Amino acid sequence: MAPNIGSKVILDRSGLDRLIADLRGRGYRVIGPVLADSAVIYDEIQSAADLPAGCRDDSEAGTYRLDQTGEPWLFGYTLGVQGWKRHLYPPRQRLFRAERGERGFRLLDDQEVEAPLALLGVRACELAAIQVLDGVFDHEGFTEPGYLRRRQNAFIVAVECGHAAATCFCASADTGPAVGQGYDLRLNEIAGQGNWLFVAEAGSEKGLAVLAELPSRPASPDQIAAAAAQPQQAASQQSRQLKDDAARVLAVSTESPYWDKVAERCLTCGNCTMVCPTCFCTSVEDVTDLAGDIAERWRRWDSCFTLDYSYIHGGNVRSKAASRYRQWITHKLATWHHQFGRSGCVGCGRCIAWCPVGIDITAEVRALADAERGR
Ligand code: SF4
Ligand code: SF4
């Protein structure tokens, strides 16, 4: 019997390979987790053989380590180092290219046509991060056409987490670990006791059309229960929490002496902004070839931690590390609400793991709250 939206079916390993092949056959460029430089990153895959079988990551403040467990899990890691933003909003993008002619510069229409993206392995917090970016790039009359085109054409295969890293706090950010709305297919990987399979569910007509092409069978009540238990287990493993009143704490802490304490540790390296799946600051650069015949405009990711980013007509408005850290965390957790109607943090914990000095966004909010109370 063909599956319906919301009905749960079983895919085995060949079914996963068929899913990847089917998406590729439909013209998608399939992006999934792969192993690179002892880390999981998201890059193009050809088949399930490219997935990081048996890998499990271990993160703490300032620490990331990937172990090979020898277990059959393909999605046993928690998160890739960088989120899907890298593919939906690439770090460097050429905005236009122009060529000098006899009558001045002429814009060239030579942008490559990009294949639509299929994102395989999107976690709950990452789906929430994509939805945060949707709000940024289609907001009050401003639209970012490249992002919106990639986003509208994308096919999302979410995979629910069965365990959490020590840096995860999506449960307190209300973005996971259970995958919410917005996926085309949702998978739960079940492995152990001789089993290795996926419980799969379509969340859209597009997902249903793909699922109907795959070899599947109805899931049993035990298999459905095992899938439902996974996000509960991941939530129970999360010890970090974002304070409920983080936005209020930051709103009243603009002049807190605590910012100087953060600045004693913060290197203003910008790592936190580079790995954050919702940070969106960019700069624009114009370049020419040596002869001055070709001119190009490029947009590249930037960071509110760089000195140049806040340079305005003759001066830098955030010259100190304290003011740059304050800007980042206050925007992320407080003023983002005013601007976009929600928090800019989805609780993925990447900024904690990849901060070289282990600055922890959840701990800094707690410390600011303590400073406010005079402790
Ligand atoms: S908080 Fe950490 S990662 Fe972010 S700029 Fe400071 S030192 Fe770098
Ligand atoms: S601020 Fe940190 S925890 Fe929050 S979404 Fe960005 S990287 Fe993840």
- Residue 260, pLDDT score: 95
Q: What is the pLDDT of residues 312-340, one digit of tens each?
A: 888 888 989 999 999 999 999 999 999 99
Ligand 2 atom showing the smallest separation from residue 348 Cα: 8
Quick check: CB of 357 below 6 Å from ligand 1?
yes
Q: What is the CA(368)–ligand 2 centre distance, in A?
A: 18
Taking the C-alpha atoms of residue 155 and residue 208, their distance in angstroms, rounded to an integer, is 12
From the CA of 304, the nearest ligand is: 1
Does residue 2 have a pLDDT over 80? no
pTM score of the predicted model? 0.95
What is the residue-wise DSSP string for 83-128? -THHHHS-SEEEEEEEEEETTEEEE---PPPPPPEEEEEE-HHHHH
**pLDDT, averaged across the chain:** 94
For residue 169, pLDDT beyond 80: yes
Could you identify the atom of ligand 2 that is nearest to the CA of residue 173? 4
Which protein residues touch ligand 2 with a CB less than 6 Å away?
Answer: 275-278, 332, 345-351, 361
Give percent of the chain with pLDDT exceeding 70: 99
CA-closest residue to ligand 2 atom 8: 348
Mean pLDDT for 91-118 is 91
Q: Band of the pLDDT at 261, cuts 50, 70, 90?
A: very high
Q: What is the rounded CA–CA span in Å between residue 152 and residue 292?
A: 37
Closest residue by CA, ligand 1 atom 4: 272
Calculate how far, in angstroms, residue 165's C-alpha sits from the geometric centre of ligand 2: 14
| Domain extent listing, the chain | 8-93+112-236, 246-284+302-372
pLDDT tens for each residue of 186-244: 999 998 777 789 999 999 999 999 999 999 999 999 999 999 999 999 999 999 999 99
* Distance (Å, whole) CA 78 – CA 55: 9
Confidence check: pLDDT of 90 > 70: yes
Mean pLDDT of 126-141: 95
For residue 275 the two structure tokens come to 């790995």
Residue with token string 């509208």: 152
Higher pLDDT residue, 122 or 372? 122
Task: Give pLDDT tens digits for 238-260.
Answer: 999 999 999 999 999 999 999 99
* CA of 344, closest atom in ligand 2: 5
**Is residue 355 in contact with ligand 1, taking CB distance under 6 Å?**
yes
Using only C-alpha atoms, the chain has a radius of gyration, in whole angstroms, of: 22
